[in-house]
């Protein structure tokens, strides 16, 4: 059988790796160099590299390119150690990664809850009457959508049990078991579990959404055989990297998706968390053909305990409405009315203004420590928004070793006066919304000095 060009290139590079012509940790020629040396297109070279990555022969390292991957050590099966169990536990805890509790207006919520119950005493026990969300909440969410340039209509919106249900509905509507779905790297624990639950295959876009080669990589994936038809992404303050997609890239990505018939599922739960200036526009803001399914929630900015999310279904509205009605799940009507009241009174405007300022101030304190200790050894990115700072770790440090050091420096990791810190895709993720007390400052400083010896 005749091999494709990308398979021929992949075999040639694999032979060089297996014969030790390319040593472990050696850098492969860049994509551009391979294109010139072999007279191949960008898509062909990228497919060859992805093939090698799937075989475990190479690995991407940030923006530095592809490197020969060290062989995995073959060890006899043994019980999971405490360190590995701790690592799995920390990875799972990232699913509940949220801003510090003191940033939310708890007293205001309690007051509104009492007011709504007095006016509607049976709401707390009554089954939700509207399958797709209470009309008043949908109306308020539609009004608020103008703040991020979406200008959604009330009947476009479907209220869900948090953003997770909205993402599940969107994925079920646009894909079938076994399909490929494009996702950003590093892939979050939540996305990995959603794709695994639905038996979907992730195709990772390794370039960050703010990197110069992001669109070129997306295009090469879409031009390959059996290309994905769904792209699940965060354009505004991606977790864990915090990357913000530039406005021109948003427009061009939408054109590219339309050209290749790709559905975009835009997860915008972090979009309100800018530290300065105006809220960034969404991909949905430029969507004139219904190719974007827009997902949001109140969990990261207003009230995590309400467990309310919503989506604008675009061209998949009928399909998602059917899936929602067939799921037998409903969102507490009392919670919906409390959120609707909060939005109707305009309480979210001063709250978000204060919320963003506190995020900026607290993240600045964390960054000042990181830059003081690590600034001369590693380039530290700015933090334009969000509440998580992600620091890629050197490959020479094992996840188990890092987890042991986390436990050593933060012995009370789960206590309220300790920052949330976890490993995400071989990077250290720090929740910068937690108030930085003196003990925490000492722990973070000591840990950074430990890391500095590996760069």
pLDDT of residue 73: 42
pLDDT of residue 446: 85
pLDDT of residue 90: 44
pLDDT of residue 170: 97
pLDDT of residue 154: 92
Identify the structural domains of the chain with CATH numbers, from first to last.
5-68 (1.10.10.10), 82-100+350-452 (3.90.1150), 106-346 (3.40.640.10)
> What is the block-wise mean pLDDT of the chain (455 residues), using blocks of 10 residues?
73 84 84 85 78 81 76 42 40 72 90 86 64 93 88 93 95 95 89 92 93 94 93 94 94 96 97 94 94 96 91 94 83 90 94 96 94 87 91 81 75 55 81 88 86 82
CB 51 within 8 Å of CB 7: yes
CB 408 within 8 Å of CB 447: no
CB contact set of 37 (below 8 Å; sequence gap of 6+) = 29
pLDDT of residue 3: 62
Q: What is the CA radius of gyration of the chain?
A: 23
Nearest to 287, CA basis, from 186, 383, 156: 156
pLDDT of residue 93: 58
pLDDT of residue 59: 82
pLDDT of residue 71: 67
pLDDT of residue 88: 43
CB 94 within 8 Å of CB 320: no
pLDDT of residue 290: 93
Distance CA 321, CA 139 (A): 17
CB 346 within 8 Å of CB 147: no
Distance CA 156, CA 252 (A): 24
DSSP code, position 104:
S
pLDDT of residue 47: 75
pLDDT of residue 124: 60
Report, in this order, helix, strand and coil percent for the chain, each rounded to 5. Answer: 50, 15, 40
Peptide bond before residue 186 is cis, with ω within 30 degrees of 0: yes
Neighbour tally for 84: CB within 10 Å: 13
Sheet of 421-423, strand order: 388-392, 427-431, 421-423
């Amino acid at each position: 059988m005749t091999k494709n060009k990308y398979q021929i290139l992949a075999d040639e590079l694999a032979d060089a790796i297996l014969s030790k012509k390319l040593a472990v940790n050696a850098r492969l020629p860049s994509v551009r160099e391979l294109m010139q040396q072999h007279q191949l297109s960008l898509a062909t070279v990228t497919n060859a590299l992805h093939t090698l990555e799937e075989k475990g022969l190479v690995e991407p390292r940030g923006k530095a390119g592809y490197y020969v991957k060290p062989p995995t050590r073959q060890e006899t099966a043994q019980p999971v150690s405490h360190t590995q169990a701790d690592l799995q536990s920390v990875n799972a805890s990232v699913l509940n990664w949220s801003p510090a509790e003191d940033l939310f207006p708890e007293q205001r919520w309690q007051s509104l809850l009492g007011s709504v119950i007095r006016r509607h005493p049976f709401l707390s026990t009554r089954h939700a009457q509207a399958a797709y969300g209470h009309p008043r909440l949908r109306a308020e969410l539609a009004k608020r959508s103008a703040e991020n340039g979406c200008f959604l209509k009330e009947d476009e919106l479907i209220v869900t049990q948090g953003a997770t249900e909205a993402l599940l509905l969107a994925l079920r509507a646009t894909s079938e078991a076994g399909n490929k779905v494009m996702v950003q790297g590093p892939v979050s624990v939540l996305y990995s579990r959603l794709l695994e639950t639905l038996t979907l295959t992730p195709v990772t876009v390794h370039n960050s959404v703010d990197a110069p080669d992001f669109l070129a990589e997306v295009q090469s994936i879409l031009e390959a055989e059996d290309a994905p038809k769904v792209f699940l992404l965060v354009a505004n303050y991606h977790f864990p990297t915090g990357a913000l997609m530039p406005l021109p890239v948003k427009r061009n990505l939408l054109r590219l998706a339309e050209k290749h018939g790709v559905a975009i599922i835009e997860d915008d739960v972090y979009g309100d968390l800018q530290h300065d200036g105006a809220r960034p526009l969404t991909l949905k803001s430029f969507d004139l053909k219904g190719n974007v399914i827009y997902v949001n929630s109140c969990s990261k900015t207003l009230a995590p305990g309400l467990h309310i999310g919503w989506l604008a279904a675009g061209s998949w509205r009928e399909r998602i409405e059917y899936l929602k009605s067939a799921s037998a799940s409903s969102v507490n009507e009392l919670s919906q009315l409390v959120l609707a009241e909060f939005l109707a009174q305009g309480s979210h405007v001063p709250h978000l203004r204060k919320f963003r300022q506190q995020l900026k101030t607290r993240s600045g304190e964390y960054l000042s420590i990181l830059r003081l200790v690590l600034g001369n050894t590693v380039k530290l990115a700015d933090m334009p928004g969000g509440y998580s700072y992600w620091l890629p770790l050197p490959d020479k440090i094992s996840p188990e070793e890092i987890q042991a050091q986390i436990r050593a420096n933060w012995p009370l990791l789960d206590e309220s006066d300790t920052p949330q810190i976890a490993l995400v895709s071989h990077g250290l993720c720090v929740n910068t919304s937690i108030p930085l007390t003196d003990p925490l400052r000492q722990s973070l400083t000591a840990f950074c000095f430990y890391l500095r010896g590996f760069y």
